[in-house]
Amino acid sequence: MYGYLCVHDDEGYSFFDALYKTMQLFTLGSSSPETCLSINIARFLAPIVVICGGIQLIYSLSHEGWKWLCMRFFNNHVVVCGYGFTGKHIVKRIIAQKKKVIVIDPAINNPIISLNEIHIKKDASLLSTLLEARIQNASEIIISTGSDYINILVCMQLIKLKLGNNIKKSVRIEQLDNKNIIKFLSNEENGFKVFNFSELVMHSLPFINNGNIIILGLGSIGKRLIEKYRESNRIIAIEQSNITLKRIKDIYPEGPRLHYNCSDIKGLVHRDLTKYLSECGFDLKTEFFEVFICLGADWLLFSTACKWIDWSDINMKITLMGMNIEKELIDKIETKKEDNNIVVYNIVDDTLKEYINDPS
């Protein structure tokens, strides 16, 4: 456009002559005699545009060609749908087991293409995307996007393909209220193994009978802890949100063996805790407490644990339950441990270690 305007306006050529001379600018062999500044600028800009476009075209063709070539070597591989926080941990563990993996996620940045790992930046719920990932040649597919809805859509596409039991199929469903969907996916014909982080966590925690349990934070994990331990233990559940506390109370009503307290966990002081425990009938001199800290932020887990460890008059063991506690915080916690009175539990890492190594 710049070249055309220069030739047409500055030199006074007709439309077709100006268009022809503009096209000449895109070759380094142009013999246009015009020497005005604007023509000279256009004469250098045009080949640069051609070269840049050519490089982009070659890159695109080579990128797709390399991906296509690598794909030919993928058989009995694992397909992972979703490359968020959980998906990255899943892929990391699969690679560690020397397995080939194809990752599907529309939001992948800088997709990898190699002989062991390929990223496809597309929607996993589309049948064409699953076929591109050579799903019919795969040994396993793990569906773990951040949405139950998307996960179920992917399952429906796989059911259409009628893969049967030739491929191991796992899907993450966080809302366990979808019982009909879960039953449908996990029946003998469809063969999906439904997993859920809170379920995996509960499965890996030790059995406690006739103990005293303090739960800090009543999110999805805290709620499942009440469900797991309430029948055979005395429980104190502390939550700072009145709305969350009311919702949990509606599910698990307060009783002689289950007590609720609405407090700011970060600001909870030793005096208030011991007073409340005494009011609930606990003898602090003789009784032992299992404390589960299930708060959202890792720094809050760490600061709360450090504060509680210093309350040496309360005989307790603390279990920190974070999604992915950083090693730096774990090292700081290790320096405060005495007689194994604190356990660090990385929910995603520890549960996936068990699930992927032994998914049965």
The CA-based angle 273-278-282, given to 5 degrees, is 110
Residue 203: predicted pLDDT = 78
Tell me what the mean pLDDT of segment 143-153 comes to.
91
- Residue 246's pLDDT band, with cuts at 50, 70 and 90, is very high
Tell me what the mean pLDDT of segment 67-72 comes to.
76
State the pairing for strand pair 101-104/316-322: unpaired
Strand, coil or helix: what is 78?
strand
Residue 205: predicted pLDDT = 85
- Residue 5's pLDDT band, with cuts at 50, 70 and 90, is very low
With CA atoms as reference, report the closest residue to 274 among 284, 264, 286, 265. 284
Percent of the residues in the chain that have a pLDDT greater than 70, as a whole number? 72
Residue in the block written with tokens 């020397």? 98
- Residue 360's pLDDT band, with cuts at 50, 70 and 90, is very low
Domains of the chain: 2-70 (no CATH), 73-195 (3.40.50.720), 201-355 (3.40.50.720)
Phi, psi of 148 (to 5 degrees): -60, -35
Strand, coil or helix: what is 139?
coil
* pLDDT surpassing 50 at residue 147: yes
Residue 77: predicted pLDDT = 93
pLDDT tens digits, one per residue of 280-298: 999 988 999 999 998 877 7
Two structure tokens written together for 58: 């070659």
* pLDDT surpassing 50 at residue 1: no
Strand, coil or helix: what is 84?
coil
pLDDT tens digits, one per residue of 70-88: 778 888 999 999 998 788 8
Phi, psi of 163 (to 5 degrees): -75, -20
Phi, psi of 172 (to 5 degrees): -95, 120
239, β-bridge pairs: 262
pLDDT tens digits, one per residue of 17-62: 655 566 665 555 445 555 555 555 655 666 666 667 666 655 554 5
Tell me what the mean pLDDT of segment 257-282 comes to.
90
Q: Which amino acid is at 58?
A: I
The whole-chain average pLDDT of the chain stands at 80
Beta carbons of 139 and 79 less than 8 angstroms apart? no
Q: CA–CA separation, 73 vs 76, rounded Å? A: 10
Q: CA–CA separation, 121 vs 103, rounded Å? A: 8
Burial 131-160 (b: 16+ CB within 10 A, else e): ebbbbeebebbbbbbeebebbbbbbebbbe
Tell me what the mean pLDDT of segment 238-266 comes to.
92
With CA atoms as reference, report the closest residue to 150 among 207, 104, 113. 104
Beta carbons of 295 and 301 less than 8 angstroms apart? yes
Two structure tokens written together for 186: 């996990």
Query: How far is the first Cα of the chain from the last one, in angstroms, to the nearest whole number?
Result: 64
Q: CA–CA separation, 223 vs 237, rounded Å? A: 9
309 versus 30: the higher-pLDDT residue is 309
pLDDT tens digits, one per residue of 118-140: 899 999 999 999 999 999 999 99
Beta carbons of 304 and 310 less than 8 angstroms apart? no
Length of the chain: 360
Burial 214-245 (b: 16+ CB within 10 A, else e): bbbbbbebbbbbbebbbeebbbbbbbbeeebb
Residue 21: predicted pLDDT = 60
Residue 154: predicted pLDDT = 95
Strand, coil or helix: what is 265?
coil
pLDDT tens digits, one per residue of 161-218: 988 777 899 998 877 666 788 889 988 888 898 888 777 778 778 889 999 999 999 9
Query: Where is mean pLDDT largest: 197-206, 218-227, 303-312, 321-330?
Result: 218-227
Tell me what the mean pLDDT of segment 349-358 comes to.
60
Burial class (CB in 10 A: 0-12, 13-18, 19+), 358: exposed
The helix (H) or strand (E) run that includes residue 212 is strand 212-216
Residue 180: predicted pLDDT = 85
Burial 31-57 (b: 16+ CB within 10 A, else e): ebebeeebbeebbeebeeeeeeeeeee
Phi, psi of 293 (to 5 degrees): -100, 110
